[in-house]
């Protein structure tokens, strides 16, 4: 005869974690309130952004934003769409931070988009018209003011005739004599009209607005502010002819026509500035192979990028594997100390160590040259050969701990029975390593070697923070002796030709992606053979 024991009260003092308590608090009504608050904040921010997009003349992006907002609201407000509630945030960030930048990079590669070609065509036409205005010798005493609607106007007094007028973007309106008062130094101090003179700090906040402000007058001329107290009458030297889409010089009759590459150009090749962004098809992609100023530096930089990436991976893996084999001895004294010391380069922020290495390798006061035997100095950062040696050496130093840790873990995962069986069969240590350890090791490490190669192929920090891509190359191009493709692309975007060439830089970045993808794809395909190693 048996009886069921009475249930006993649990004796464990279980205390839920802070995260568990927060999750419990956010369930039920509290969770619904929090959801409505967060959705309200997100909707308010997005609605403000939609208004800004419409104000900037981007209705397509505004409509896309409205559609995305409506979809997100439906996902989080309608019942029964639980999986989408978790997928939506990641999808939004994926599109915002990955797909949209890729889209703009690709579209920019098919445009002329550089310094002097930033504006739209209409903006460029207006800018050329403004720049063609030349002084006629007529000047005004000027005071910026606000009308009753708060719009900016210019209160003007003719230096020669003393006539008073008010200038607006629509034209010049004469004022009765005595409306404006001018002090002894020729400054408009007050007005008896409906205009309020702008003074003090507000006056100096008008720089951008005044620079773009013009008052049209007879004969196509315009009054334009010069500073905050003087205005001059400017006469155009160029006239735009909409029918032919061309500019004509009023004095010489020279015609500047659209060359379909974002510029108005005269028959003798003289180009009006600024130009505008325009679609040029495959011109940017083709210039990498057809333009000598781009082709030579590109292929020189490409070859050095391959050498740099392969050398960094090879030396880092070789040294890391050697250290891993050396430290793969459980009975070694101070083993943890050795491992900790060797991991230090991997633990310290890389950008900081690159700046430190830049000081260590300095020609004048660097510690490295002072420690060389016999006082031998090396121009580590200012000679093309030694600069390349420097970036490979420093990159290896920074990457060795990573491969040491990877190799150490991979070595410990290899069954000891395999190596012992090989030794019993009479294999030497070198044969055991070549025929057993290394093939099994490569199954784990090979994908990481490919990833490391792709990383070093685009290792912008190590190049730019250590040598800045320099020293300068012999061909006087923007690409320095140690520039890799990614730093070369950066320089094209910000320091090439007239200053910035985003279109060409985007084209080069597409080639960089294709090169890395091709090499990585081939390498992964070839490493599949390692999976069949017994």
User: What does the alpha-carbon distance between residue 387 and residue 485 come to, in Å, rounded to a whole number?
Assistant: 16
> Distance between CA 426 and CA 411 in Å, rounded?
21
Contact 144, 203 (CB under 8 A): yes
* Mean per-residue pLDDT, 421-441: 84
Q: Which pLDDT value is given to residue 534?
A: 43
* CA–CA distance, 501 with 286 (Å, rounded to integer): 15
Helix (H, G, I), strand (E, B) or coil at 34: helix
Burial profile 440-466: b = 16 or more Cβ within 10 angstroms, e = fewer: bbebbbbebbbebbbebbbbeebbbbb
The crossing angle, in degrees rounded to 10, of helices 100-109 and 502-527 is: 120
Note the pTM of the prediction, 2 decimals.
Answer: 0.77
Arch. (CATH architecture) of 20-109: Up-down Bundle (1.20)
User: Which CATH code for domain 135-236?
Assistant: 2.40.430.10
- Res 4: pLDDT: 56
Going by their DSSP bridges, the two strands 230-236 and 222-226 should be labelled as antiparallel
Rounded Cα distance between 247 and 257, Å, is 7
**No. of H helices and E strands in the chain?**
20, 16
What's the rounded mean pLDDT across residues 290-302? Answer: 91
Mean pLDDT, range 213-233, rounded to an integer: 85
The Cα–Cα gap between 140 and 275 comes to 32
Residue 28 predicted with pLDDT over 80: no
Model confidence pLDDT, tens digit, residues 276-287: 999 999 999 999
* Burial of 375 from C-beta contacts in 10 A (0-12 / 13-18 / 19+): exposed
pLDDT tops 60 at residue 8? no
Range with the poorest average pLDDT among 4-8, 104-108, 311-315, 373-377: 4-8
Domain ranges of the chain: 20-109, 119-132+243-276, 135-236, 292-532
Helices (H), 234-383: 283-290, 292-327, 335-347, 350-360, 367-371
The DSSP H or E segment spanning 182 is strand 180-182
Query: Percent of the chain at pLDDT above 90?
Result: 33
Name the more confident of 254 and 472: 254
Q: Residue 529 pLDDT > 60, yes or no? A: no
- pLDDT at position 472: 85
SS (H, E, C) 352-402: HHHHHHHHHCCCCCCHHHHHCHHHCCCCCCCCHHHHHHHHHHHHHHHHHHH
The CATH class given to the 292-532 domain equals: mainly alpha
What burial letters (b/e) apply to 58-80, b meaning 16+ CB within 10 Å? Answer: eeeebeebeebbeebeebbeeee
For residues 429 and 256, which has the higher predicted lDDT (pLDDT)?
Answer: 256
Taking a C-beta distance cutoff of 8 angstroms, is the pair 436, 422 a contact? yes
| Interatomic CA distance for residues 223 and 238, integer angstroms | 16
pLDDT at 147: 86
Q: Which two tokens stand for residue 291?
A: 């333009």
Beta bridge partners of 100: none
d(CA 436, CA 423) in angstroms, rounded, equals 11
- Check whether 29 has a pLDDT greater than 80: no
What confidence tier does 530 reach under pLDDT thresholds 50, 70, 90?
A: low
Helix then strand then coil, in percent of the chain rounded to 5, is 55, 15, 30
Helix (H) or strand (E) holding 246: strand 246-249
Q: Answer whether residue 527 shows pLDDT above 80.
A: no
- For residue range 140-152, what is the model confidence (pLDDT) as tens digits? 988 888 888 888 9
Q: What mean pLDDT is predicted for residues 57-71? A: 90
Pick the range with the lowest mean pLDDT from 377-386, 439-448, 489-498. 489-498
Average of per-residue pLDDT values in the chain: 85
Find, among 429, 407, 215, 210, the residue nearest to 318 by Cα: 407
Question: Is residue 153 scored above 50 in pLDDT?
Answer: yes
> What whole-number distance in Å separates Cα of residue 169 and Cα of residue 152?
9
Distance CA 499, CA 447 (A): 40
Residue positions counted in the chain: 534
CA distance 366 to 380: 10
pLDDT tens-digit series, residues 167-197:
998 888 888 888 888 777 667 776 777 888 8
| Rounded Cα distance, 262 and 462, in Å | 37
pLDDT of residue 87 exceeding 50, the answer is yes
Give the pLDDT band of residue 248 (cuts 50, 70, 90).
very high
- DSSP symbol at 220: G
Collapse the DSSP code of 249 into the 3-class scheme (helix H, G, I; strand E, B; otherwise coil) and give the result: strand
Q: According to the model, what pLDDT value does residue 208 have?
A: 80
Residues 6+ positions from 499 with CB-CB distance below 8 Å: 114, 115
**Is 266 within 8 Å of 171 (Cβ atoms)?**
no
Place of tokens 């140690």: 482
The CA-based angle 480-484-485, given to 5 degrees, is 110
Q: Which residue has the higher pLDDT, 372 or 49?
A: 49
- Residue 29, token pair as written in the block: 């009504």
pLDDT at 502 (0 to 100): 92
Q: What is the pLDDT of residue 185?
A: 67
Residue, of 308 and 78, whose pLDDT is higher: 308
Residues 181, 182, 183, 185, Cα dihedral to 10°: 170
Name the DSSP letter for residue 95.
I
More confident residue, 16 or 351: 351
């Amino acid at each position: 005869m048996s009886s069921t024991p009475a249930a006993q009260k649990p004796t464990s003092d279980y205390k839920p974690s802070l995260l568990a308590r927060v999750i419990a608090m956010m369930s039920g009504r509290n969770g619904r309130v929090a959801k409505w608050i967060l959705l309200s904040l997100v909707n308010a921010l997005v609605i403000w952004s939609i208004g800004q997009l419409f104000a900037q003349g981007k209705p397509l992006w505004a409509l896309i934003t409205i559609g995305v907002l409506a979809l997100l609201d439906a996902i989080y407000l309608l019942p029964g769409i639980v999986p989408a509630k978790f997928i939506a945030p990641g999808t939004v960030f994926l599109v915002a931070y990955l797909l949209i930048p890729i889209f703009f990079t690709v579209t920019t590669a098919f445009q002329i988009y550089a310094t002097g070609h930033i504006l739209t065509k209409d903006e460029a036409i207006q800018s050329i018209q403004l720049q063609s205005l030349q002084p006629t010798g007529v000047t005004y005493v000027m005071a910026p003011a606000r009308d009753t609607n708060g719009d900016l106007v210019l209160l003007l007094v003719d230096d020669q005739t003393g006539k008073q007028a008010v200038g607006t973007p629509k034209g010049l309106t004469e004022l009765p004599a005595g409306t404006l008062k001018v002090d002894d130094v020729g400054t408009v101090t007050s007005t008896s009209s409906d205009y309020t003179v702008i003074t003090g700090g507000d006056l100096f906040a008008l720089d951008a607005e005044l620079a773009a402000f013009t008052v049209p007058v007879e004969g196509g001329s315009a009054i334009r502010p010069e500073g905050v107290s003087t205005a001059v009458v400017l006469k155009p030297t160029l006239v735009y002819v909409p029918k032919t889409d061309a500019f004509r010089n009023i004095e010489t009759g020279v015609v500047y026509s659209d060359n379909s590459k974002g510029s108005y150009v005269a028959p003798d090749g003289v180009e009006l500035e600024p130009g505008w962004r325009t679609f040029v098809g495959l011109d940017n992609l083709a210039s990498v192979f057809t333009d000598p100023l781009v082709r030579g530096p590109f292929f020189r930089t490409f070859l050095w990028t391959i050498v740099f990436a392969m050398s960094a991976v090879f030396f880092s893996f070789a040294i890391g594997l050697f250290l891993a084999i050396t430290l793969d001895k459980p009975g070694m004294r101070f083993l943890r100390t050795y491992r900790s010391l060797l991991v230090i380069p991997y633990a310290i922020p890389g950008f900081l160590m690159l700046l430190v290495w830049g000081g260590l390798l300095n020609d004048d006061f660097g510690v490295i040259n002072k420690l060389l035997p016999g006082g031998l100095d090396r121009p580590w950062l200012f000679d093309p050969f030694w600069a390349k040696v420097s970036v490979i050496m420093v990159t290896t130093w920074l990457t060795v701990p990573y491969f040491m840790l990877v190799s150490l873990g991979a070595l410990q995962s290899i069954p000891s029975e395999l190596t012992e069986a090989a030794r019993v069969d009479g294999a030497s240590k070198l044969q055991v390593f070549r025929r057993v350890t290394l093939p099994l090791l490569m199954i784990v490490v090979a994908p990481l070697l490919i990833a490391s190669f792709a990383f070093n192929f685009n290792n912008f920090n190590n190049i730019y923070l250590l040598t800045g891509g320099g020293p300068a190359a012999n061909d006087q191009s923007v690409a320095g002796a140690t520039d890799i493709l990614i730093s070369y692309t950066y320089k094209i975007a910000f320091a090439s030709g007239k200053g910035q060439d985003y279109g060409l830089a985007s084209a080069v970045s597409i080639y960089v992606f294709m090169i890395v993808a091709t090499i990585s794809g081939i390498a992964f395909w070839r490493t599949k053979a390692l999976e069949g190693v017994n």
